[in-house]
Chain A
């Protein structure tokens, strides 16, 4: 009979607090991860939207190519018109 009471006491005074402590730690850790992950998700979504303008790089590529071609044409003409340096 005494052993049963001792077992009850251990169960209530030791096991229950330990279980509660450990589970609270796990819950706190999980809750602390949530905002960080949500921020990462928000940043990834915003970054993906920012990259929507990358399609304009194709336009930039064409414009740069045309600009260089025009500059090359002018350079060729200048090469003919102007005398070389002595």
Chain B
């Protein structure tokens, strides 16, 4: 065999070996890809199956929440009035007044009263709400204004001083007893109550009885007295 033929055979063998090596390596890599894709497909299938009812459930939840929002907004506007309702929401969530209520388009144009600053009509209610009340917004990291044990006293502190001094300005209770500064005359009939004023304690005869007992003249006086009383 000529040398050129031997060299050709060797070259062909080299080419075949190269083909075998690279193609087998490629086949192995493709097998890895296939296996990984099988896992991915299984995972995606699981995602599809698990997320299938999500749309319906979330739609139901949103429908219920929409109904709740409609209910609460409507009740708030109905009971507090549009202006106060907007002010209350603005106090709780600053900036919310600009968005207005969903079902009340005119609420966007309503001028919100500054309930969170000074608004005595809602201050007590807001104080009872506790930490989330806007009156606590000034010091959100501080102690709560609302004291659970003495909530009414804490709320009273929100009012002006004029109301604070009212209990102190009331007259004191009278002092009774033998050494009291004001001595009253002793009763003539202790323990016995005199005739009480009022119709319930007066046993007046009926007109028929009076007429029968006192005659027509006195019954006429009784009639006039009754007419004057009416």
**Contact between A44 and B44 (Cβ–Cβ < 8 Å)?**
yes
- The distance in angstroms between the C-alpha atoms of A46 and B54, with both chains bound, is 18
With A4-B2, A44-B39 as known contacts, state yes or no: A61 contacts B60, CB within 8 Å: yes
3 tightest Cβ-Cβ pairs between the two chains A and B: A44-B43, A23-B22, A85-B81
Chain A interface residue bracket vs B: 35 or more
**Contact between A85 and B43 (Cβ–Cβ < 8 Å)?**
no
A7: chain B residues within 8 A (beta carbon): 4, 8
B47: chain A residues within 8 A (beta carbon): 44, 47-48, 51
User: Interface digits, B58-73 against A, CB 8 Å rule (1 contact, 0 not)?
Assistant: 1011001101100110
**Contact between B40 and A37 (Cβ–Cβ < 8 Å)?**
yes
B interface residue numbers (CB < 8 A to A): 2, 4-5, 7-8, 11-12, 14-15, 18-19, 21-23, 25-26, 29-30, 32-33, 36-44, 46-47, 50-51, 53-54, 57-58, 60-61, 64-65, 67-68, 71-72, 75, 77-82, 84
**Contact between A40 and B40 (Cβ–Cβ < 8 Å)?**
yes
Q: Which of A40-61 contact B (CB under 8 A)?
A: 40-48, 51-52, 54, 57-58, 60-61
Q: Nearest-CB distance from B46 to chain A (Å)?
A: 3
**Contact between B57 and A57 (Cβ–Cβ < 8 Å)?**
yes
- The distance in angstroms between the C-alpha atoms of A64 and B42, with both chains bound, is 33
Contact of A30 among B2, B14, B30, B65 (CB under 8 A): B30
**Contact between B33 and A75 (Cβ–Cβ < 8 Å)?**
no
Given contact pairs A33-B33, A85-B78, enumerate 4 new A-B contacts (beta carbons under 8 Å).
Answer: A27-B29, A48-B44, A54-B53, A57-B54
